[in-house]
A = this chain, B = another copy of it.
Amino acid sequence: MSSHLGKVLHLTSFGESHGKSVGGVLDGCPPDVSLTEADIQSQLNRRRPGQSSLTTDREEADMVTIVSGVEDGLTLGTPIAFYVANRDQIPGDYERFRTIPRPSHADYTYQVKYGTRSISGGGRSSARETIARVAGGAIAEKILMEQAGVEIVAWVSAVGDIQAPDMDMQHISRGEVDQNLVRCPHAETAEKMIRHIQSLKEKRDSIGGIVNCVCRQVPAGLGEPVFGKMEAILAQAMLSIPATKGFEIGSGFSGTRMQGSEHNDPFMAAEKGLRTKTNFSGGIQGGITNGEMIYFRVAFKPPATIGLAQKTVDFEGVETILEASGRHDPCVVPRAVPIVEGMAALVIADMLLLQKTREQGLS
């Protein structure tokens, strides 16, 4: 019962992977935000399968339609509903999973939780569900851009053991990120990653990876202590993305090895208010943004659906060998980049709107 996210900017997500369509409803978007389907489509294109040799071969155009809440290219302040029709379904691909739950996939847990499940295409646990996140996030980005100039850029920083060097987070752009198929803006590392993913694809195996994200020009003062702290809701948003296993912000786990005297970010004078000399805090102190860059990392496990033979049992507990025959991603991180960006945008935009409730009076 939790297919909705956000307090004021409220996203509802719907859709099984092989049903009629997947989509969502974004309620609470302020009026008069300029918005067209193209604004959403550009991010959906970065998410869609079949976009490169690194992703699944499924070809899905994933064209979005806005159904409500927008007129003459401007939002009305009413719920924005949107959907992407489902196509290219080969239910036969999934026939085996009817009786054999894929190891580390949601087949078993959905069945236990609901006593039923949509077998074809993984139903609601399919990565196809993330279309609502990317579309909703694209709208949230429009709000953030118009009202505060916020820029959000995510990229692949690791695939398996292959790690990219630190990027210049002040300047990294989506253009740079998209210069190669794997969305790692360090060309040399990207090449290694691509080769590694391709070799695993050939072996019918899969591999994990890490997506980094930076959010620039986020106004100071956003975040809702104590349970709605900015990093807390970002963590929820990121760990709700399929296949994620970890989240760290600012210094993250490596910050645990530092002393306070190193880790503390000293203040310095700035044009408006204060700034900090270092930014181990990742732009957030006490759950509230301080005006510095927010940056964080999200861990993605290797995709569960692989072609390699796996020794497991069927729903009845009888031992069997499972070889998935469908077309699946050997590594999700290249396609996860716009999803991470979208979730970050949804969270920050909600916090931006909430902070306005503290302004004096109505204009």
> Contact: B108 with A260, CB < 8 Å?
no
Contacts of A109 in B (CB 8 A): 220-221, 223, 284-290
Q: Does A359 contact B (CB under 8 A)?
A: yes
Which of A51-59, A168-176, A178-186, A295-303 forms part of the interface with chain B? Answer: A295-303
Known interface pairs A112-B273, A288-B113; A161-B210 also in contact (CB < 8 Å):
no
Contact A68:B20 (CB < 8 A) given known A81-B15, A226-B129, A358-B113: yes
Is the Cβ of A259 less than 8 Å from the Cβ of B78? no
Q: State whether A269 touches B313 (Cβ < 8 A).
A: yes
Q: How far is the CA of A65 from the CA of B258 in the complex (A)?
A: 38
Interface residues on A, range: 35 or more
A30 to B358, CA, bound (A): 5
Q: What per-residue 1/0 map shows which CB atoms of A21-35 lie under 8 Å from chain B? A: 111010110111000
Task: Name the segment of A40-48, A187-195, A236-244 touching the other chain.
Answer: A236-244
Interface check A337, CB cutoff 8 A? no
Q: Which residues of B contact A264 (CB under 8 A)?
A: 102-104, 302, 304, 306, 310
- Chain A 3-26: CB-based contact to B (< 8 A → 1; otherwise 0): 111011111111110011111010
Give, as a whole number of angstroms, the nearest-CB distance from A6 to chain B. 9
- Give the residue among A200, A222, A232, A297 with the most B Cβ atoms within 10 A: A232
On whether the beta carbons of B103 and A253 are closer than 8 Å, the reply is no
23 A-B pairs whose Cβ atoms sit less than 8 Å apart in the complex: A1-B357, A14-B67, A16-B71, A28-B357, A76-B114, A78-B225, A104-B263, A105-B286, A106-B225, A106-B285, A109-B221, A112-B290, A124-B225, A125-B225, A147-B362, A148-B361, A158-B257, A219-B362, A226-B240, A245-B282, A256-B299, A269-B317, A355-B362
The reply to whether the CB of A224 lies closer than 8 angstroms to some CB of chain B is yes
Q: Which of A108-128 contact B (CB under 8 A)?
A: 108-110, 112-118, 123-125
* Residue in chain B with minimal CB distance to A250: B245
Q: How far is the CB of A212 from chain B (nearest CB, A)?
A: 12
Bound state CA distance, A297 and B229, in angstroms?
19
Interface contact A355-B231, CB-CB below 8 Å: no
Complex partner residue of A15 from B67, B83, B235, B358, CB under 8 angstroms? B67
Contact assessment for A106 and B256 in the assembled complex, using a CB-CB cutoff below 8 Å: no
Distance between Cα atoms of A207 and B160 in the complex (Å): 30
A228 CB-CB contact with B under 8 Å: yes
The answer, yes or no, to whether A92 is at the interface (CB within 8 Å) is no
CB distance from A290 to the nearest CB of B (A): 5
Contact A124:B246 (CB < 8 A) given known A112-B220, A209-B256, A227-B2 = no
A102–B273 Cα distance when bound, in Å, is: 15
How many angstroms between the C-alpha atoms of A232 and B236 in the bound complex?
Answer: 4
| Distance A111 CA – B276 CA, assembled complex (angstroms) | 15
The answer to whether A12 and B147 touch across the interface, beta carbons within 8 angstroms, is no
Tell whether A79 is near chain B: CB-to-CB under 8 Å.
Answer: yes
